[in-house]
Amino acid sequence: MSDTAIIIPMYNEEEVIIEVLRELKQKTTYNIIVIDDGSTDNSYRKVCEEGGVYLIQHIVNLGQGGAIQTGIEFARSLGIKYVVTFDADGQHSADDIEKFVKLLKENKVDIVLGSRFLGKAENISLLKKYFLKLSRVFTFISTRIWLTDSHNGFRAINIYKFPDFELKENRMAHASEIIDLIKKLKMRYIEMPCLIRYNEYSIKKGQSMLNAIGIVIEYIIGRLLK
């Protein structure tokens, strides 16, 4: 068994996850952990049953943060050292995975954060682009960590070295919580270029600036309630 796993949180993304899984199987040899976060369509299960995929199902939808935490806990139970978080909607590229994991295995950093602004963002709207850049300011104010892309779902994390790396935010605010954990746990971090593809499916599904606004609101509320 590989010491690395790719965690894919999904919710009703059956239209594209089949292709995502097939690309990952073709281009990587890592364990694949799919967290079905309360989806209503099980048509994707056939490709999981072809082998090479662990499938965990949430009875109810917890949110992306909750799904990732379930994946991390399961990966730890398998003795996995490194995890990659990878979206189910086809926005990420399997070709970017190896360069991220390599830095962890060489012990150069503890977490690698993907950046579409150091890399490439295909078909991104100007409005989303400027809002995401503005969100960096909020991240810096709250954490004193300056990033070029503070809400990118593509990351590689050393969970073996950091057993206290746990997500409490179930939904999209987990993206900001991860930056908090970097500071709290004193993790060595680096941003790396990656490709983000805004495809027809993700645009239709609503991967818009509204998600970024939701992240900020959830994060602020979460901090106030602590």
Going residue by residue through the chain, which has 226 residues, state the pLDDT in tens, using 9 for 90 and above.
799 999 999 998 877 899 999 999 999 999 999 999 999 888 888 888 888 899 999 999 999 999 999 999 999 999 999 999 999 999 999 999 999 999 999 999 999 999 999 999 988 878 778 778 777 887 788 788 999 998 899 999 999 999 999 999 887 788 889 999 999 999 999 999 999 988 766 555 654 555 555 555 655 555 555 5
Three-class SS of residue 170?
Answer: coil
Report the distance separating Cα 64 and Cα 85, nearest Å. Answer: 10
Q: So what's the pLDDT on residue 207? A: 47
**Predicted pLDDT at 14:** 79
Nearest to 114 by CA among 189, 210, 209: 189
pLDDT for the residue 175 = 87
48-63 as b/e: b if 16+ CB within 10 A: beeeebbeeebeebbb
Q: Looking at residue 70, which CATH number applies to its domain?
A: 3.90.550.10
Task: Tell me how far apart the alpha carbons of residues 55 and 62 are, in angstroms, rounded to a whole number.
Answer: 16
Residue (of 150, 165, 164) closest to 219 by Cα position: 150
Residues 75 and 33 sit within 8 Å (Cβ to Cβ): yes
Residue in 33, 135, 129, 19 with CA at minimum distance from that of residue 78: 33
- Judge if pTM exceeds 0.85: yes
- Number of structural domains in the chain: 1
Cα separation, 177 vs 79, whole angstroms:
24
Question: Coil, strand or helix: which one is 123?
Answer: coil
Q: How far apart are CA 179 and CA 174, in angstroms?
A: 9
Domain extent, residue 188, equals 4-225
Q: Please give the DSSP secondary-structure letter assigned to residue 218.
A: H
Question: Which among 60, 75, 81 is positioned nearest to 8, based on CA atoms?
Answer: 75
